[in-house]
Amino acid sequence: MKRTTLSLFAATAALAALGGVAVLTAPSGADSGGSAARTAAKAPARLPVQRSMALCPAPTSSDVGETAYTAFTPAGGAKSAKKGTAELLSAAGGDKKDDSNKKDSKDSKGNKGKKDDKGPAPAGTSVLSLKEPGKPATATTGRSDAPALIGSADGALAPGWTVQQTTVIAAGSGRGLHGLTCTAPDTSFWFPGASTAKGRQDYAHLTNPDSTAAVVDLELYGKDGRIKSGAGEGVTVPPRSTVPVLLSSLADQPAEDVTLHVAARSGRVGAGLQTADDKKGGDWLPASAEPAADAVLPGIPGDATSVRLVVFAPGSDDADLKVRFAGPNGTITPAGHEALHVRSGMTAAVDLGDVTKGEAGSLLLTADGRSAPVVAALRVTRGKDDKQETAFIPAVQQLGGRATVADNRPKGSTLALVAPGKEAAQVKVTSSAGSEGGEPAEKTYTVKPGTTLTVEPPQPAGAKGSFAVTVEKVSGGPVHASRMLALPKDGVPMFTIQPLADDRSSVKVPEAGQDLSMLNR
């Protein structure tokens, strides 16, 4: 008899001794003797998650960078759960980035930046802990060797736990505001909008939260397809550590627009892509939503001076897309950019120029006849000449249960809500108390079909410090959202844009019960 059969008998006997085997419960009123009743089940219930993870990459190697971390869990997520803990711990460092602007970077007063005399925090050092739901916790650092962070939350602090990393780089390559919602670990990430062009440095940051090593492939795709490079294959990320990889080291020739695919062969990682441009500033490029036939890219600011669209078709078929702009009053087709053809396995890019015409909005990509999955992102530029600043908007999934974004500043945050379909949507926006005090505030908005509603989140009464914002769809059709944080400095319109994805506050759990009849099958 085979070993697997013996194992099955042994497991069945052990479970029987404990009083039965757990199976899906049949709906009430069903015939318990029929096979349909034994296999049918109630719809899975949504329950609060018991544990969440967030991985924050190393923020910067600039000597004139200041980073703020903000952690937050919405109130009322798991009333019956234990109090719980939520903490960010430093990870072990990988190969140090070669940042050329460290040699001569200066602050706004012309003073050269200096590192602290003390060394970086050892791996496993607590950097930030959250004590209670409903109130953000913050920490700051000015170190150029600040480590990546590995965070986890459990109990009542787990549902919707969100961490924002915001860095202001005062000078040098990548000068600007770099913002990122720290990511959950996964096995696949798509980054359309990356670049290996001269004058730009893009680093992929790979952070492994687990106790075993992860092996990752970094695949680059340009306008002619896969960029062959053995250097990006089989990158080992040691346990509870981070590894940065310069994308230009993976390509023989520079390319302005490429798509990066991070694929884990074994284990899982958090992946972040940081861009730095010599003239146009820099930011973190968030991962695109999973490949789909349609894509929504919300939150193009009305004063954008340049908007560049980058699309990649990962499947075996070409994609034909309609391109539309959803503004405050309706949806239009940009003149000269009505459609886009994307060949399978290749990256397509188009400069949309002044697509907003002074009105904030969102870009809608829909399948035009031929339906094939795509990933997409926008590179958005504000300002002119030597005062330019860049941010990125990836394709964003529609709001499901709830989305949360931390580190909002009074008069500095703007929400973009877009209803891409033919049905309006009602959305409730709740602003938390401030990290240093204040009272929550909430407001409900109606987003008309085919439009983008741009609003400042309600200001918490008496708020001090930064605050968090949660967004929930109340009723109506699909709605997508993003948050722009603007912190102008020395005439530079510094800004960053974060997509609002589901904050993973709940999970579907099927109902189970005991059925001894399974032992007689």
Together in a domain, 39 and 101: no
Last residue of a domain, one of 232, 252, 285: 285
Do residues 279 and 223 touch, judged by C-beta distance below 8 A? no
**Percent above pLDDT 70 for the chain:** 83
Say what the pLDDT of residue 119 is. Answer: 64
Give the whole-angstrom CA distance, residue 70 versus residue 435.
Answer: 9
Residue 77: pLDDT band with limits 50, 70, 90: low
> What's the rounded mean pLDDT across residues 213-232?
94
Radius of gyration in angstroms for the set of CA atoms belonging to the chain, rounded to a whole number: 24
For residue 45, the model assigns a pLDDT of 77
Say whether both 22 and 162 belong to one domain: no
Q: What is the pLDDT of residue 8?
A: 38
* pLDDT band with cut points at 50, 70 and 90 for residue 12: very low
- Whether residues 43 and 178 fall in one domain: no
- Residue 24: Cβ-neighbour burial (10 angstroms; 0-12, 13-18, 19+): middle
- Does the residue 416 lie in any domain? no
- For the cut 80, the answer to whether the pLDDT of residue 163 exceeds it is yes
Is 360 contained in some domain? no
The residue among 7 and 468 whose pLDDT is bigger is 468
Report whether pLDDT(19) > 80. no
How much is the pLDDT for 407?
Answer: 97
- Domain-ending residue, one of 244, 261, 285: 285
> What is the residue range of 167's domain?
50-285
- The pair of three-digit structure tokens given for residue 394, joined into one six-digit string: 């990836």
How does pLDDT run across 171-218, given as a tens digit for each residue?
998 999 999 999 999 999 999 999 999 999 999 999 999 999 999 999
Here the CATH number for the domain that contains residue 165 is 2.60.290.11
pLDDT > 60? residue 32 = no
Confidence check: pLDDT of 47 > 90: no
Cα four-point dihedral sign 237, 406, 79, 478: negative
pLDDT of residue 81: 61
Most confident by average pLDDT, 31-35, 114-118, 390-394: 390-394
Same domain, 26 and 87: no
Of 268, 285, 302, which residue sits at a domain end?
Answer: 285
What is the pLDDT, as a whole number, of residue 495?
Answer: 98
Biggest alpha carbon–alpha carbon distance for the chain? 82
Whether residue 147 is contained in a domain is answered as: yes
| pLDDT, tens digit (0-9, with 9 covering 90-100), for 317-332 | 999 999 999 999 999 9
Whether residue 130 is found in the same domain as residue 204: yes
Using the predicted structure, report yes or no on whether residue 113 has a pLDDT greater than 80.
no
pLDDT of 137 higher than 70: yes
Q: Above 60 in pLDDT, residue 144?
A: yes
Indicate if 160 and 82 belong to the same structural domain. yes
Measure the CA–CA gap between 519 and 179, rounded to whole angstroms.
Answer: 55
Domain co-membership, 13 together with 155: no
> What's residue 511's pLDDT?
66
What is the per-residue pLDDT across 120-131, written as a single tens digit (0 to 9) for each? Answer: 778 999 999 999
User: Average pLDDT, stretch 346-373?
Assistant: 94
**Range with lowest mean pLDDT among 3-7, 133-137, 220-224, 355-359:** 3-7
- Residue 38's pLDDT band, with cuts at 50, 70 and 90, is very low
Average pLDDT for residues 73-89, to the nearest whole number?
A: 82
Average pLDDT score over residue span 15-35 = 39
Query: What three-state secondary structure class fits 316?
Result: coil
Distance, CA of 138 to chain centre: 20
Same domain, 129 and 229: yes
242-284: per-residue pLDDT in tens? 999 999 999 999 999 999 999 999 999 999 999 999 999 999 9
Q: Is residue 431 part of a domain?
A: no
Does residue 242 sit within a domain? yes
Smallest Cα–Cα separation from 482: which of 400, 355, 395? 395
Distance between CA atoms of residues 8 and 64, nearest Å: 61
Q: How many domains does one find in the chain?
A: 2
The answer to whether residue 35 sits within a structural domain is yes
227 and 90 in one domain? yes
Q: Domain for residue 109, yes or no?
A: yes
Start-to-end C-alpha separation, the chain: 19
Question: What whole-number distance in Å separates Cα of residue 441 and Cα of residue 457?
Answer: 9
Residues 101 and 131 reside in one and the same domain: yes
pLDDT number for residue 343: 97
Residues 176 and 209 in one domain: yes
pLDDT of 101 reads 41
**380 occurs within a structural domain:** no
Q: How far apart are CA 283 and CA 390, in angstroms?
A: 7
For residue 372, pLDDT over 50 is answered with yes
| Distance from the Cα of residue 203 to its chain's centroid | 16
Q: What is the mean pLDDT of residues 328-348?
A: 95
Residues 129 and 204 in one domain: yes
Q: Which pLDDT score, from 0 to 100, does residue 117 have?
A: 47
Which H or E element spans position 272?
strand 270-277
- Residue in the block written with tokens 């006997």: 13
